[in-house]
Amino acid sequence: MKNFSLFGFMVLAFAGCGGGSKQAASQSSPASTYRVELDTTKGPVVIVVDRNLAPNGAQRFYELVKAGYFDGARFYRVVPGFVVQWGAAADPAVTKKWDVTIPDDPVKASNMRGDVTFAATGQPNSRTTHMFINLGDNQRLSAMGFAPIGHVSSGMQAVDHIYSGYGEQPDQGQIAAQGNAYLQRAFPRLDYIKSARIVSGS
């Protein structure tokens, strides 16, 4: 598994359908914004995603949520005042399946408190499934190429209470190899996403 690093630390198509010969082809395009509800062990967290901010990241997040990828995913890295990070699936086989990079997006937002952003390795076009919520105002991340896809519209109180006692101890290599079996055994107090779903937009 790749290490999603930051400052030396781990951080971490919609096709239309054609009509008949005399009927104009009709194409549907995704809504510019959509909302995702994370049902976490600390309470609901609603994220508003803006495709105009980071189209590639917004589309990947949409696909991951629709696939149920985040159901059971642990918040494996929590640094108070900085970030809450997640992104490995409960089942390591699912993590491996989705370990495909997406192109970078231009940075159009500032990584302020509550902004939601994909983690990366520091190399170009290295984003996959790992994400973080900014717990503080981290504008410096924008200059490093971290492009927010949206923000938490409600539930930051729940985010603030996600268990942080393990800090950065969970090992990403072990998470990749064993998934929740490793995290439940070694870090049983980690909070997690019970389910994630699209609640509006498409």
Examine residue 64 and state whether it is found in any structural domain, yes or no.
yes
Tokens of 4: 């999603």
- Tell me the residue range of the domain where 125 lies: 30-200
Residue-level pLDDT at 13: 32
For residue 187, give the 3-state DSSP assignment. coil
Percent of the chain with pLDDT over 90: 83
pLDDT tens for each residue of 47-75:
999 999 999 999 999 999 999 999 999 99
Predicted confidence (pLDDT) at residue 76 exceeds the cutoff of 90 = yes
pTM of the predicted model as reported, rounded to 2 decimal places: 0.87
Other CB atoms closer than 10 Å to residue 167's CB: what's the count? 10
For residue 21, give the 3-state DSSP assignment. coil
Predicted confidence (pLDDT) at residue 180 exceeds the cutoff of 90 = yes
pLDDT tens for each residue of 17-34:
334 433 433 356 788 999
Please state, in angstroms and rounded to a whole number, the distance separating the CA atoms of residues 57 and 50: 10
> Domain total for the chain?
1
Examine residue 189 and state whether it is found in any structural domain, yes or no.
yes
- Out of 21-25, 35-39, 138-142, least confident range: 21-25
HEC assignment per residue over 65-130: HHCCCCCCCECCEEECCCEEEECCCCCHHHHHHCCCCECCCCCCCCCCCCEEEECCCCCCCCECCC
Examine residue 124 and state whether it is found in any structural domain, yes or no.
yes
Residue-level pLDDT at 19: 41
For residue 51, give the 3-state DSSP assignment. coil
Examine residue 99 and state whether it is found in any structural domain, yes or no.
yes
The mean pLDDT value of the chain amounts to 89
Examine residue 1 and state whether it is found in any structural domain, yes or no.
no
Please state, in angstroms and rounded to a whole number, the distance separating the CA atoms of residues 156 and 65: 19
Examine residue 143 and state whether it is found in any structural domain, yes or no.
yes
Residue-level pLDDT at 18: 39
> What sign has the CA pseudo-torsion 57, 168, 187, 165?
negative
Residue-level pLDDT at 9: 38
Please state, in angstroms and rounded to a whole number, the distance separating the CA atoms of residues 50 and 55: 8
Examine residue 58 and state whether it is found in any structural domain, yes or no.
yes
Predicted confidence (pLDDT) at residue 14 exceeds the cutoff of 80 = no
Residue-level pLDDT at 30: 81
What CATH number is attached to the domain comprising 52? Answer: 2.40.100.10
Examine residue 50 and state whether it is found in any structural domain, yes or no.
yes
Predicted confidence (pLDDT) at residue 95 exceeds the cutoff of 60 = yes
